[in-house]
A and B are shown apart, each in its own frame.
Chain A
Amino acid sequence: MATTDPTLLAPPTIEVEGGADVIGRSPGQLFWMRFRKDRAAFLGLGFIGFLILIAFIAPLISKLVGHGPNDLYSNMTDSIGLPKGPTGKFFFGADQNGRDVFVRTVYGTRTSLLVAVVATSIAVATGVTLGTVAGFFRGWVDTLISRIIDIMLSLPLLLFAIGIASACSLSPKGCFGGFVKPGRGLVIFIIALFSWTYIARVVRGQVLSIRERQFIDASRSLGAGNGRIMFREILPNLVAPIIIYSTLIIPANVLFESYLSYLGLGLPPDVPSWGGMISDATRYYQVAWWMMVFPGLFLLFTTLSFNLLGDGLRDALDPRGGR
């Protein structure tokens, strides 16, 4: 499962077009003008908004329907424990424990969004920091960080994730001296650990080219220290690629979390997760298609929306790519 190599996509540069007697528009305005026209991206944004909404009001929905996400309804399974399908009260049917699939799917939104967003944020923060440092200081710092990235990219991702997840679930104290506890924290840690490298590479490439520009020299000649240059001069120019790649990494991380849950790792059983629900469905899908179809559709539309949004942002920030 590889994501698109970021170094191959043209680094977006924001250039204000126009001659001397045309009113210049700020990059922000140009971006918004282009973005507004992209209906697909708006659709994506809309769906994401919808997801965020239902993630927030999940307890309310649960109350309205009258079923909790972990309530067991033994009348929704037959005498040999096979689940029953969608009814008036159970919109998406029940799972093998007699739990309401609809309510769990709604709660699953929380898990997926939370894990993906938090993990991505950590990954981005780490990646940006290390990438900037590597690109800015070059020399042995750069070599060290680049080599670490190369090694991490050669590692069989999922395998190590599985190993770490099982090892850390073994005792309640977790591993690495209690720093990583089993549960959501563990999953976030693993996802972040394996996805910071992409952004680090991109940022490094950007920083390498930006640092050669004249305004950096100008700043330095005014007496700015390294820190200031990195934060005040370079970082703002990275905002566009960072946003773009973040929105592209989020769906990959949503999928990654679902793969981990599918394989049965990391999340405790009472935390509903789409991947986990589909994993349960593997045993029953022949007689209980609803267990697989509904969480899967939500997963699909979530990643679809983030991808649409990401595409839209990329196109709006970089007119050359064209659509």
Chain B
Amino acid sequence: MIKREGVVAHRKMIRVAAILTILVLMTAACSSKKDEGTGKPKTGGIFRVQLKTFRWGGGGFDPSSTYSAYSWTLYSNLMIRSLLGYRHVAGDAGNQTIPDLATDNGTVSSDGLTWTFKIKPGVKFSPPINRAVKASDIVYSFERIATPSVAAGYSFYYLSTIVGMQDFYDKKATKISGITTTGDDTISFKLTQPTGDFNYRVSMPAAAPIPPEVGKCFEKQGEYGRYVVSTGPYMFDGMAKLDPTSCATLKATVPSGFDPSPTGHVKLIRNPNYDPATDTKESRENFIDGLTVEANSNVADIFAKILKNEVDGEIANETPDILQKATTTLKNQVHTNEGDRTWYFSMNLTTPPFDDIHVRRAVNFILDKAALLKLAGGSLSGVIAGHYFPPSILAGRLKDYDPFKTTNDAGDLEKAKAEMKQSKYDKNKDGLCDPGLKACGPIYSPTEQAPPFSDYIPTVKNGFAKIGLKMNIAQVADSYVPANKPANNIAFFMGGGWGKDYGDPYTFAFPLFYGPSILCENNSAYSLLGETRKQAKACKNQYPASGSVPNADKKIDDCSALAGEARLDCWAELDKYFTENVVTWIPYRFATNVDTVATTVTKYVFDQFSGYTAYAHVSLDTSKQVGA
């Protein structure tokens, strides 16, 4: 009986199971037809990117010298692994370092001066080198940074921080005394002072291992760029065909996967020597089979192709018709994320009238920041900036801090006038800069011919005129050239924009607000904060007749020695100090990155570190790609 019931029950179960299976199969079939980014991301496909024109700059594509964020996205996501790396995700988590080639986050000695890392076993260079990565390869990378002919892009993060590196640069030593190795897998850095963000500096592409047998053949600026040997999951197409027996044989051919001319291309394929077991899925998932980047001079056409799935991603400024639909019909394709970049107007502390803090505070009150934001593209281009360091590198601090806030961010004439009255350039205390004074105008300010800077001009001119400052804003082809030379005494510069190099405010404070960073040519510290009279003499720029320019060097040094939360708290205090008490800038926008992808991209992730698509995590639906 029971058996019979069992049989009936058994048959019933089979029927139920059959129905369930059919249901499951049907849902599976239906979902694979709809496929709206749900379900498991698929492996495969070549990710096709287009941009207007390739501008690698002097640094070429050499990791030692290149200073361009797009290059870093290709390195960090696809080609190059450093001791420490990134998760390649959005937000704070994407800005923090995690172990990449190193077994862990490294050990720091109690005095904070020695950092030691152990390299994971089993990590190999791509063809044609094929051998395991050794500690000496990382030593060589640092030697490259300290080789003048390489013209390293950001050597200032290392030269005075690592013991003996400056001596190597000056050719006073043949080795960098501060970097030592034990065996092939342990490397140790001795620092000249406690440096709380050394983990970031070690994560940069320039600090990644380079095989000397290739690197030494290319020690002129930018040359190594065509021959980058990968440690990451992808490499240049054509690397396997190179012959590394000597420099001459190497130079005889060039990998087909990279053409650095403005109308060139990049083609990356999988690196056969990459072992995912030595990496983490948290950092790289490697769904795509390869990546191509091509130039297309017609930006409107790039976006037209994205809409037709003929191209998967872009590096370009979105055209008005895309922006119009960004929040409506295209909202699944247009992704916005924090850009870790501040756009600002810079004031020269050594030239009148901006040598007076009240004038600087007055212009901070008068500027119509809302109008500037709109001109740059409104909410799609960013948010109003109330202080100097972008919020994403302060890990949530100073969120609503804006000491110069005005109603609707449109500027406040009364508050501006109130500040102006306290300045030495408003003797009759009417809230306007006195018309007879040379300091009140016309104030010459060269600015970019290109939008959006050219669009800002009326807003700035009209606003400043309201407090008696007559601006003579000239449009020039490259306004950075006159602004880069202190000797030109440019009082006001509208072209300022600075993005993080890595997720710590030191990357702002050191190049922009530190006295010794001021250069007589190619200077980025436009406000000349911390300049000494001696420096002014050397650079032949104006200097106040008496007294001196404000100086924040010690504050910066103090913050730089700290680590962890204490460090970020220190930077936040410094940001407040700059914004309210020193007032070197008028910050107006924290940038938002806009990234448009085709509907072929079933999984999209943003890489906070580089500010572009996280190629390490994206996946494609190859059936939707057109013309692939």
Contact = CB atoms under 8 A, between A and B. Distances in A.
Interface stretch (A56-64, A168-176, A209-217, A245-253): A168-176
Give the interface size class of chain B.
35 or more
Interface stretch (A3-11, A26-34, A39-47, A280-288): A280-288
B627 interface: no
A264 interface: yes
A286 B319 contact: yes
A100 to B, nearest CB: 12
Contacts of B450: 264
B323 interface: yes
Interface string A6-39: 0000000000000000000000000000000000
Contact of A172 (B300, B451, B474): B474
Given A70-B462, A264-B449, A269 B375 contact: no
Interface string B205-242: 00000000000000000000000000000000000000
A87 interface: no
Given A74-B370, A270-B461, A97 B319 contact: no
B444 interface: yes
A268 B475 contact: yes
A169 B475 contact: yes
B324 A82 contact: yes
A82 B371 CA distance: 12
B446 A170 contact: yes
The residue among B324, B450, B475 with the most chain A CB atoms within 10 A of its own CB is: B475
A78 B482 CA distance: 35
A109 interface: no
A270 B477 CA distance: 17
A77 B371 CA distance: 10
B462 A170 contact: no
A221 interface: no
Give the interface size class of chain A.
20 to 34
Given A81-B375, A170-B476, A72 B319 contact: no
A56 to B, nearest CB: 24
Nearest to A170: B476
A286 B474 contact: no
B343 to A, nearest CB: 14
Contacts of B473: 268-269
The residue among B371, B457, B474 with the most chain A CB atoms within 10 A of its own CB is: B474
Contact of B375 (A71, A79, A96): A96
Interface in B431-468: 444, 446, 449-451, 454-455, 457-459, 461-462
Contacts of A79: 374, 378-379
B475 A72 contact: no
Contact of A287 (B320, B457, B462): B320
A288 B380 CA distance: 19
Contacts of A108: none
A286 B321 CA distance: 7
B370 to A, nearest CB: 7
A314 interface: no
Given A286-B321, A287-B324, A97 B482 contact: no
Nearest to B457: A269
Interface string A76-112: 0111111000000000000011110000000000000
Interface in A268-310: 268-270, 283-284, 286-288
A135 interface: no
Interface string B424-435: 000000000000
Contacts of B476: 166, 169-170
Contacts of B548: none
A182 B474 contact: yes
A270 B324 contact: no
A74 B324 contact: no
Nearest to B410: A74
Interface in A139-198: 166, 169-172, 182
A78 B323 CA distance: 11
B481 interface: yes
A70 B454 CA distance: 13
The residue among B381, B477, B481 with the most chain A CB atoms within 10 A of its own CB is: B477
B377 A268 contact: no
A145 B76 CA distance: 63
A309 B451 CA distance: 38
B376 interface: yes
The SS class assigned to the A binding surface is loop
Contacts of A72: 371, 458-459, 462
A96 B449 contact: no
Interface string B39-62: 000000000000000000000000
Contacts of A78: 378
B472 interface: yes
B374 A80 contact: yes
A258 to B, nearest CB: 17
Contacts of A182: 474
Given A80-B378, A81-B375, A82-B320, A169 B477 contact: yes
B320 A99 contact: no
Contacts of A169: 446, 474-477
A70 B460 CA distance: 12
B444 A97 contact: no
A70 B482 contact: no
B378 A268 contact: no
A74 to B, nearest CB: 6
A24 B608 CA distance: 89
B474 A81 contact: no
A80 B370 CA distance: 11
A170 B481 contact: yes
Contacts of A82: 320, 323-324
A79 B379 CA distance: 7
A182 B476 CA distance: 10
B325 to A, nearest CB: 11
Contact of B380 (A77, A80, A170, A286): A80
Interface string B295-330: 000001000000000000000000111011010000
A166 B323 CA distance: 32
Contact of B374 (A74, A171, A284): A74
A268 B472 CA distance: 9
Contacts of A287: 320-321, 324
Contacts of B457: 269-270
B607 to A, nearest CB: 25
A71 B465 CA distance: 13
Given A170-B446, A286-B319, A269 B458 contact: yes
Nearest to A79: B378
Contacts of A288: 320
The residue among B378, B458, B482 with the most chain A CB atoms within 10 A of its own CB is: B458
B455 A268 contact: no
A70 B470 CA distance: 15
A174 to B, nearest CB: 10
Given A79-B378, A166-B477, A287-B321, A74 B472 contact: no
Nearest to B408: A74
A80 B475 contact: no
Contact of A70 (B321, B444, B458, B475): B458
B444 A172 contact: yes
A96 B481 CA distance: 27
A96 B457 CA distance: 12
A296 B193 CA distance: 64
A133 B187 CA distance: 82
Nearest to A96: B455
B144 to A, nearest CB: 36
A97 B455 contact: yes
A149 to B, nearest CB: 30
Contact of A81 (B321, B376, B449, B472): B376
Given A74-B370, A81-B374, A172-B474, 17 more contacts: A70-B458, A72-B371, A74-B371, A79-B378, A80-B381, A81-B375, A81-B377, A81-B378, A97-B458, A170-B446, A171-B446, A268-B473, A269-B454, A269-B475, A283-B319, A283-B320, A286-B300
11 contacts: A72-B458, A74-B370, A79-B378, A81-B381, A82-B324, A169-B475, A169-B477, A171-B482, A268-B474, A283-B319, A284-B320
